[in-house]
């Protein structure tokens, strides 16, 4: 015996979306971005404005991962690194 058809739910409109979702970023989000920026600055070459191979080696040493580990290749891929050995 065929199943009875369910009524389709009405489409969600923009007026249904909670206005609190459209507010300015919270302070916690800003703090997270500041922490990310500070982490980047820790390993970045100041004159180039990016993390160069020396910075990557320092990062690997701090997180106890060999710079030739495949996880570093995955990190570069996830960070969408355009040039091997450099993060911008």
Domain positions in the chain: 48-88
Q: For the segment 28-82, what is each residue's pLDDT rounded down to a tens digit? A: 788 899 998 999 999 999 999 999 999 999 999 999 999 999 999 999 999 899 9
Q: What are the backbone dihedrals phi and psi of residue 76, each rounded to the nearest 5 degrees, phi first?
A: -60, -40
- Tell me if 56 sits within 8 A of 85, measured CB to CB: yes
- What CATH number belongs to 48-88? 1.10.238.10
Tokens 């050995």 sit on residue: 85
Give the per-residue pLDDT at 15: 56
- Alpha carbon distance 43, 52 (integer Å): 8
Give the per-residue pLDDT at 8: 64
pTM score of the predicted model? 0.62
Residue 51 CB burial class (10 angstroms; 0-12, 13-18, ≥19): buried
- Alpha carbon distance 87, 45 (integer Å): 10
């Amino acid at each position: 015996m065929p199943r009875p058809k369910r009524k389709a739910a009405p489409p969600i409109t923009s007026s249904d979306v909670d206005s609190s979702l459209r507010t300015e970023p919270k302070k916690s989000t800003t703090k997270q971005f500041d922490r990310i920026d500070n982490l980047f600055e820790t390993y970045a070459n100041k004159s180039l404005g990016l993390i160069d191979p020396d910075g990557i080696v320092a990062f690997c040493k701090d997180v106890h991962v060999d710079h030739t580990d495949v996880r570093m290749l995955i990190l570069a891929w996830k960070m969408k690194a355009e040039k091997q050995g450099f993060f911008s």
